[in-house]
Amino acid sequence: MPRIRHIALTTKEPAKTAEFYKEAFGLKELRRSPNGAVFLTDGHINLAILNWKDERSADMGAHGPNFSGIHHFGFEVESLGEACGKLENAHAERLTAKTEAEADAYAEVRAGHANFEMKWAGPDGVVIDISHTGWEGTH
């Protein structure tokens, strides 16, 4: 079965954004391109952090001025408390007020799998979910 192994974000400041993901989630830097793009990994997925696209970019034309890109993506974490602390230290914006203590009460059960997510925003406004339960179908 095919598996997601690559996600790409576009941002004004790839190096700054890469530092955020390294600090908040411990991603490892693989390389930097001469154009400023930074490539990270968690050992399973490659996260490319690219410069904003413009009219000179081969893939800009299909998206146009109202580009609908990645809405959000998620990281499964071992400890919500630890992950929240790292996100706060990395200056992420907490979008949901739920705490680790509320996790079990707010977990939604789907087909026998309890799911809990907290939403945060990185330095470029991309929404990031964190979950200690993971997502249905990922285990």
Encode pLDDT of 12-33 as tens digits: 889 999 999 999 999 999 999 8
More confident residue, 23 or 55: 23
Fold of 6-53+70-131: 2,3-Dihydroxybiphenyl 1,2-Dioxygenase; domain 1 (3.10.180)
Average pLDDT, the chain: 78
pLDDT digit string, tens, across residues 69-79: 676 788 988 88
CB atoms within 10 A of CB 129: 18
More confident residue, 7 or 63: 7
pLDDT digit string, tens, across residues 116-134: 778 888 888 888 888 887 7
Inform me whether the pLDDT recorded for 54 exceeds 60: yes
Relative to beta strand 6-11, strand 46-51 is parallel
Beta strands in 12-139 (DSSP E): 28-32, 38-41, 46-51, 72-76, 93-94, 108-110, 113-115, 118-121, 127-131
Task: Report the predicted TM-score, pTM, of the whole model to 2 decimal places.
Answer: 0.73
Angle at 116 between CA 101 and CA 42, to 5 degrees: 105
Helix ranges (DSSP H) in 1-135? 14-25, 80-89, 103-106
Inform me whether the pLDDT recorded for 85 exceeds 70: yes
pLDDT band of 66, cuts 50, 70, 90:
very low
